[in-house]
Amino acid sequence: MLECIKGRKSSREKILDAAAELVREIGSGRLTLDAVAERAGLSKGGLLYNFKTKDALLQAMIQRMIDEVQAEKEAYRATEAPGPNFEARLCVMACLSMRKGKMREVANGMLAASAENPNLLEPVRQVLGTVLTDIKQKSEDPEAALLAWLAVEGLNSMAMHNISPFSDEDCGMIADAAKRLLEKGIAS
């Protein structure tokens, strides 16, 4: 996170935090730059210095989400034991982390924002394409790795669309099965 020398958040980070709070509370469709500026404790001019448009702000929020997932993946890389399907295991664990807390709520808001402007999701499309290539090329068992990743992404997608029929217990069972699939492969 960008911080000032004195340890305070930069204006940009304050704005992104305020926008995330508002998206969670009122959704991206009702998000205004005036409301974000007020929540961040800045003038509208201060907000516009950092983000010229609402789309620019939403794009920065999406990029921050991408960066947070990547940081989560790299944190797992530092602690996870090497073994089969290592990159896929890191992706699955980072995806499972997305299901929790404020990241899920912000992701829901960003999904709604993309309905207004589908181009906002282009960075997400690029990241997913890179993940797909990595899983195919770096997995010892690409079929198992792709199935595990797809299962967890499917759970996340249903949760983001608020259509998931799965209980927390079901989701835990599916996550455990995906992890086993990555460790042991597909039984022939």
Residue 184 has pLDDT above 50, yes or no: yes
CATH of domain 9-52: 1.10.10.60
User: What's the pTM value of the predicted model, to 2 decimals?
Assistant: 0.81
Domain parsing of the chain, residue ranges = 9-52, 62-184
pLDDT digits (tens, 9 = 90+) for 127-168: 999 999 999 999 999 999 999 999 999 998 888 777 889 999
User: What's the CA angle centered on 31, arms 28 and 32, to 5 degrees?
Assistant: 150
pLDDT range class, residue 27, cuts 50, 70, 90: confident
How many other C-beta atoms are found inside a 10 Å radius of the C-beta of residue 131? 20
160 contact partners, CB below 8 Å, separation of at least 6: 104, 107, 108, 111
